[in-house]
A and B are shown apart, each in its own frame.
Chain A
Amino acid sequence: MSGDQIHPVPTGFLRRHVFSTDHKVIARQFMWVGFLGLFLGGVMAMMIRWQLAHPGEPFPLLGMLFWPSSGGAIPPDAYNTLFTMHGTIMIFVGLTPLLIGAWGNFCIPLMIGARDMIFPTLNMLSFWTLFLGVGVAVYSLFVPLGAAEGGWTAYPTLSSNIGTPGDGETLWAISIFLIGASSIMGGINYITTIVRLRAPGMTWGRLPLTVWGLFFTSVLNVLFLPVIGSAMILMVLDRVFGTSFYIPATMAQGGGGDPILYQHLFWIFGHPEVYILILPAWGIVGDLLSFFSRKPAFGYRVTVGALAAVTILSAVVYGHHMFTTGLTAMLGESFMLLTFIISVPGEILFFNWLHTLWRGDLRLTSAMLFSMGVIFVFGLGGLTGIYLATISTDIYLHDTYFVVGHFHLTMAASSLFGAFAGCYFWYPKLYGRMLDERLGKLHFWATFLPLTFVFCAMFFSGYGGMPRRYFDHTDNPYTNELQWINELTSTAAFILGAAQLLFVVNVLKTIRSGAKAPQNPWEVGTLEWTAASPPPHHNFDTIPVVLTGPHEFSNPAIRGGKDWIYQTEPLSG
């Protein structure tokens, strides 16, 4: 409930752990679903990379388990399922729950000084709707005729029952609808909480950037997930009840629909979706760079303005996904121009990060390393976006591995590093135990180096003309000449996969025997560090009164030899 009304601590196992309405418990639930999603998606990525590097050879260990009829080698239809579910699981079951679900739920109430989310029941419902969606998605893997095979974008008429008969694709659409519904509930909850439950004194100018990132993400969630929900409803009606919204007149007796309509609907949601994934990471990085440079975030208001600009512009740039689909010249060029314009707020954000680092007092903890990793990776990913925003280069590069490299660098690497930075930074507050810094730094370097190699190698194979989503590149002479890049990429990808074990070991080791975390290990002033680690059920004994901004580091007015100040302490003078 809202305000400073302390609702009673739930008793009983179910209320406390399963159907809990405490935002911290829900954050943990989202985190573990996120880790499960990253693990599943990661294993699928390894299978995809194995098939690309060694076409036809049985996948070691797991191969016989999944595909006994082909002696462990991945058959072509299973390969299509693999990259479809890899995309879907990484985005909707891995990153969204981890970045928005876990860190959103944990950080927003604590950082704005509230006791809990404003609608705790809706919060719990949001998790269980996601859980239901994930259940439906996992169930669709075991349906006869296999799971969805139309790519995570599922363009009809391949995703209609003409291209993929069977129930797999229908169940996939239902699970996307449910996960979308869960994100809408979460979005409503986050926006209302941030607007209504800020502690006294926590003005909009004193909100940490993480909360700003999550606020804009929720705005996009609330506005654009219903669009994909409707697109999925139309697809389910097409597949189950035989309507032909996406099936053209030339193909079906009752036809008259348009597959391009789905592409428009999908990408109206699709592009804001990639910003939904990157905005929390931008927020977290904006904060962490300031925290660990012991220096205020450069241009706080400009950064928030840039985030707002990206949120607004994200609605109108989706056309760059469809340059080769046959848009009219005017439409294509206007989307090209708009895509270039949206890169400007991105650049402004980027400069503010670099300016934050400049002349700071850098403490290179693993959270800081991951945040600087985001700068490197998003720099590389963002800049290569210019190739794809320009129609004349996109005509050649569209649907090649160049695009795969680009969106992995921006969406996968940047958001993933933002999530890892969040994990290393807030784990002490969430579980009350410190993650091992040495293992953290090793995990960073062991992830960062192979990751950069893998996704930059994709630029080369894409530039060489290797199309996306091919089961076997040695089948035709042209892409066979690029097979050597596949082998290198796959080797590096396996190292990248193995490197994630470091993080698993780190988390598991810390749960049992991690060092007890002090209340404020990183000497940072935001409100969540005024609470105990882990915070009690009602977060704060008394609702804190905020007197200063989140980034008042090395402020000359701070006395007592410290270079930081709690937001609740006044800045004298």
Chain B
Amino acid sequence: MSPIRSRRARTALATLAALAALALAPATSAQQVVDRWRPNPPASSYGQRFDDLFLLITVLIGVSFAIVLVLLIVPVVRDRARPGHKASFDHGSSLHDKRFTAVVSVTVFIVLDAWVLVVAMKDLREGYWNMPRPDTPDVLRVEVLAQQWSWNFRTPGSDGELGTPDDVLSINQLTVPQDRPVALNVTSKDVIHSLFVPDMRVKRDANPGAINVAWFQPIKAGDFQILCAELCGYAHYQMHGKLHVLPAAQYDAWEQEASAIALAEHDPNDAEARWAWDFKE
């Protein structure tokens, strides 16, 4: 890099660099929390597809941006205005130039866009939109009713039928079995919310007056965070819950117990409590 001639400019840049360094030193408040900048490893069957496609796009974009940077920095260094230095005269309107631009843009479209498109379409067909068919035996149907600032979940309980007295109702807590597909029906009572489970790589808007379907299949047991991703008012940030994924055996025990308790708590003449709709496959 040619030395920056004026001394004052150099001192200005130096102070700026110092300021930036100060800013970048991480503010170390008591950090018992594990700091991360990447999502947790995927916990759902099609979750890995997102990570792979994200990596692919990052690589493609990284390379393209590196090329752009080179094409940006070289002129600044080499073609800087100096006495005796001349610019080349080129309107770039010749046929050769137009053909060159066409070729470059087509190759960029093929390399960058078409490749990503193909992978994305495959992911959608086989993963995100590959809803479990209604007759698959072990699918767990879950009805999610979002409301201003909490999630109401409803699972069929041990009899496997929704709309029966033993359905398990819970607020902000959803317990699902491992390695079994979970089909979600998501809707809302009042404003638009969005069910977002980062570790399962699933997100579905809960629109009032409409039922959206989504699905995921947990491949790992544990507790995962449920968040709301669509602005829904003042406590949008407090509208989070926990997704408990239990190994199959533990889940069955839990489901028995939950159904028994739900049955014990069932109050026939309290129609309001048993909100339900016929599940949309």
Question: Within 8 Å by CB, do A and B touch in the complex?
Answer: yes
Taking Cβ atoms with an 8 Å cutoff, the residues of A that contact B are: 53, 76-77, 80, 149-151, 155, 157-158, 162-164, 248-251, 255, 258-260, 293-302, 324-326, 329, 333, 336-337, 340, 343-344, 347-348, 350-352, 354-364, 372, 375-376, 379-380, 383-384, 386-387, 390-393, 395-396, 398-400, 438, 441-442, 445-446, 449-450, 453, 460-461, 463-465, 467-473, 475-485, 487-488, 491-492, 495, 551, 553-556, 563
Q: Are B124 and A255 in contact (CB under 8 A)?
A: no
Separation of A26 and B35 alpha carbons in the complex (Å): 51
Output the least CB separation between A499 and chain B (Å): 9
Closest A residue, CB atoms, query B27: A487
Separation of A398 and B33 alpha carbons in the complex (Å): 25
Q: Are A355 and B92 in contact (CB under 8 A)?
A: yes
Output the least CB separation between A349 and chain B (Å): 10
Q: Are B207 and A354 in contact (CB under 8 A)?
A: no
Separation of A299 and B33 alpha carbons in the complex (Å): 54
Separation of A481 and B210 alpha carbons in the complex (Å): 34
Residues A481 and B34 in contact in the complex (CB < 8 Å), given A324-B205, A351-B101: yes
With a 10 A CB-CB cut-off, give which of A298, A375, A390 has the most chain B CB atoms.
Answer: A390
Q: Are B231 and A375 in contact (CB under 8 A)?
A: no
Residues A364 and B117 in contact in the complex (CB < 8 Å), given A296-B91, A324-B204, A329-B129: no
Separation of A541 and B69 alpha carbons in the complex (Å): 45
Q: Are B209 and A249 in contact (CB under 8 A)?
A: yes
Give per-residue flags for B231-253: 1 if the beta carbon is below 8 A from chain A beta carbons, else 0: 11111111010000000000000
Separation of A495 and B191 alpha carbons in the complex (Å): 37
Interface residues of B in 1-54 (CB under 8 A from A): 8-9, 12-13, 16, 19-20, 23-24, 26-27, 29, 31, 33-39, 49-50, 53-54
Separation of A463 and B8 alpha carbons in the complex (Å): 40
Residues of B within 8 A of A151 (CB): 231
Contact of A488 among B23, B105, B191 (CB under 8 A): B23
Of all A-B residue pairs in the complex, the 6 with the closest CB atoms, nearest first, are A248-B209, A298-B92, A465-B198, A478-B225, A361-B87, A392-B123
Q: Are A481 and B35 in contact (CB under 8 A)?
A: yes
Chain B contact-residue range equals 35 or more
Show 15 residue pairs from A and B whose CB-CB distance is below 8 angstroms, ordered by the A residue. Answer: A296-B92, A297-B92, A298-B97, A324-B204, A340-B117, A351-B101, A359-B75, A359-B87, A359-B88, A372-B72, A375-B68, A384-B61, A396-B39, A476-B240, A491-B23
Residues of A within 8 A of B60 (CB): 386
Residues of A within 8 A of B198 (CB): 396, 465, 478
Q: Which of B77-85, B155-163, B174-182, B257-265 contacts A (4 or more CB under 8 A)?
A: B77-85
A-B contacts at CB below 8 angstroms, number: 319
Contact of A464 among B9, B31, B38, B105 (CB under 8 A): B38
Residues of A within 8 A of B93 (CB): 299-302
Output the least CB separation between A428 and chain B (Å): 19
- For the complex, is B90 an interface residue (Cβ under 8 Å from A)? yes
Residues of A within 8 A of B8 (CB): 438
Q: Are B128 and A391 in contact (CB under 8 A)?
A: yes
Output the least CB separation between A467 and chain B (Å): 5
Q: Are B35 and A484 in contact (CB under 8 A)?
A: yes
Residues of A within 8 A of B119 (CB): 392
Residues of A within 8 A of B69 (CB): 376
Residues of B within 8 A of A495 (CB): 19-20, 23
Contact of A163 among B38, B128, B190, B209 (CB under 8 A): B190
Q: Are B203 and A475 in contact (CB under 8 A)?
A: no
Q: Are A361 and B209 in contact (CB under 8 A)?
A: no
Q: Are A293 and B87 in contact (CB under 8 A)?
A: yes
With a 10 A CB-CB cut-off, give which of B23, B31, B109, B232 has the most chain A CB atoms.
Answer: B23
Separation of A324 and B124 alpha carbons in the complex (Å): 13
- For the complex, is B108 an interface residue (Cβ under 8 Å from A)? yes
With a 10 A CB-CB cut-off, give which of A387, A551, A555 has the most chain B CB atoms.
Answer: A387
- For the complex, is B64 an interface residue (Cβ under 8 Å from A)? yes
Residues of A within 8 A of B116 (CB): 340, 386, 390
Output the least CB separation between A76 and chain B (Å): 4
Q: Are A344 and B109 in contact (CB under 8 A)?
A: yes
Q: Are A554 and B37 in contact (CB under 8 A)?
A: no
Q: Are A464 and B23 in contact (CB under 8 A)?
A: no
Closest A residue, CB atoms, query B277: A250
Residues A372 and B76 in contact in the complex (CB < 8 Å), given A333-B124, A344-B105, A488-B27: yes
Taking A399-B203, A484-B35, A495-B19 as given, write out 7 further A-B residue pairs in contact, using a Cβ cutoff of 8 Å, ordered by the A residue number: A158-B191, A296-B92, A298-B97, A302-B92, A344-B109, A358-B74, A470-B236
Separation of A61 and B119 alpha carbons in the complex (Å): 52
Q: Are A350 and B49 in contact (CB under 8 A)?
A: no
Give per-residue flags for B113-125: 1 if the beta carbon is below 8 A from chain A beta carbons, else 0: 1101101110110
Contact of A77 among B79, B114, B129, B234 (CB under 8 A): B234
Separation of A362 and B86 alpha carbons in the complex (Å): 10
Taking Cβ atoms with an 8 Å cutoff, the residues of B that contact A are: 8-9, 12-13, 16, 19-20, 23-24, 26-27, 29, 31, 33-39, 49-50, 53-54, 57, 60-61, 64-65, 68-69, 71-72, 74-76, 79-81, 85-93, 97-98, 101, 104-105, 108-109, 112-114, 116-117, 119-121, 123-124, 127-129, 148, 189-192, 194, 196, 198, 201-205, 207-210, 212, 225, 227-238, 240
Separation of A553 and B81 alpha carbons in the complex (Å): 14
Q: Are B37 and A450 in contact (CB under 8 A)?
A: no
Residues of B within 8 A of A361 (CB): 79, 81, 85-87
Contact of B203 among A324, A347, A553 (CB under 8 A): A324
Residues A484 and B123 in contact in the complex (CB < 8 Å), given A352-B101, A357-B79, A478-B225: no
Q: Are A375 and B72 in contact (CB under 8 A)?
A: yes
Separation of A383 and B26 alpha carbons in the complex (Å): 28
Residues A396 and B207 in contact in the complex (CB < 8 Å), given A157-B190, A390-B57: no
Q: Are A326 and B207 in contact (CB under 8 A)?
A: yes
Q: Are B108 and A347 in contact (CB under 8 A)?
A: yes
Closest A residue, CB atoms, query B87: A361
Contact of A324 among B81, B194, B234 (CB under 8 A): B194
Residues of A within 8 A of B120 (CB): 336, 390-393
Separation of A300 and B90 alpha carbons in the complex (Å): 11
Residues A393 and B50 in contact in the complex (CB < 8 Å), given A386-B57, A463-B38: yes
Residues of B within 8 A of A162 (CB): 190-191
Q: Are B19 and A354 in contact (CB under 8 A)?
A: no
Separation of A477 and B205 alpha carbons in the complex (Å): 22
Q: Are A492 and B23 in contact (CB under 8 A)?
A: yes
Q: Are A158 and B232 in contact (CB under 8 A)?
A: yes
Contact of B234 among A80, A453, A479 (CB under 8 A): A80
Output the least CB separation between A360 and chain B (Å): 5
Residues A473 and B75 in contact in the complex (CB < 8 Å), given A396-B201, A398-B229: no
Output the least CB separation between A24 and chain B (Å): 31
Closest B residue, CB atoms, query A365: B81
Q: Are A449 and B20 in contact (CB under 8 A)?
A: yes
Q: Are B229 and A392 in contact (CB under 8 A)?
A: no
Residues A555 and B89 in contact in the complex (CB < 8 Å), given A80-B231, A259-B209, A343-B113: yes
Q: Are B117 and A360 in contact (CB under 8 A)?
A: no
Q: Are B72 and A376 in contact (CB under 8 A)?
A: yes
Residues of B within 8 A of A563 (CB): 86-87
Residues of B within 8 A of A398 (CB): 203, 229
